[in-house]
Amino acid sequence: MRYKLDKSSHSVYNLNYHLILVVKYRRKALKYEDVRNRLYEIIQKLINQYEVEIINMNTGDDHIHLLFKAKPKLCLSKFINILKGVTARYLRKEFPKLRKMLWGDSFWSDSYFIATTGQVSLDTLIKYIESQGKKEK
C-alpha cells in the first residue's frame, strides 16, 4: 500500500497520530450512549478549527481512542489540552450525572498517550535509510 501524502506550499507529509484519553480515576463516564454521542459531536466541531481530520474514533467505558491526521504546523500538546478542556467543560455542564462520578473540575486524567503511526514499521525505515548511499566508517 502506498502512502497517501498531503501537501502544503513547502512540504509533503503524512502525519497520523493515535491519541488515548482516560477518564479521571478510570470512572466509567463513557458507558452512557448519550455522553459518548455528545463527546463525538464536540470533537467533530473542535477539530475543524484545528484542521485535523479524524480517521477513526471509539470509546471504552473509561477512555477514548482517536486516530487522526494533522498538518505539520499543529502544536500537539496545545491541541490535546484544548480538546481535553473543551470536552470536559461541555460534558460536565450538560450531564449532571457525571458530577456524581467526578468531583472538582476533573473529567480526564492529567496524562494522555499519543503515538505517531505510519504505513511501514520502524525496522523497514531503518533498512531503507541504511540502503541509501554509502555509510561513513
Residues with catalytic function: 128
Q: How far apart are CA 119 and CA 21, in angstroms?
A: 23
Alpha helices in the chain (DSSP H): 33-49, 76-94, 96-101, 122-131
**Bridge partner residues of 83 (DSSP):** none
Q: How far apart are CA 21 and CA 35, in angstroms?
A: 15
Asked if 54 and 44 touch (Cβ cutoff 8 Å), the reply is yes
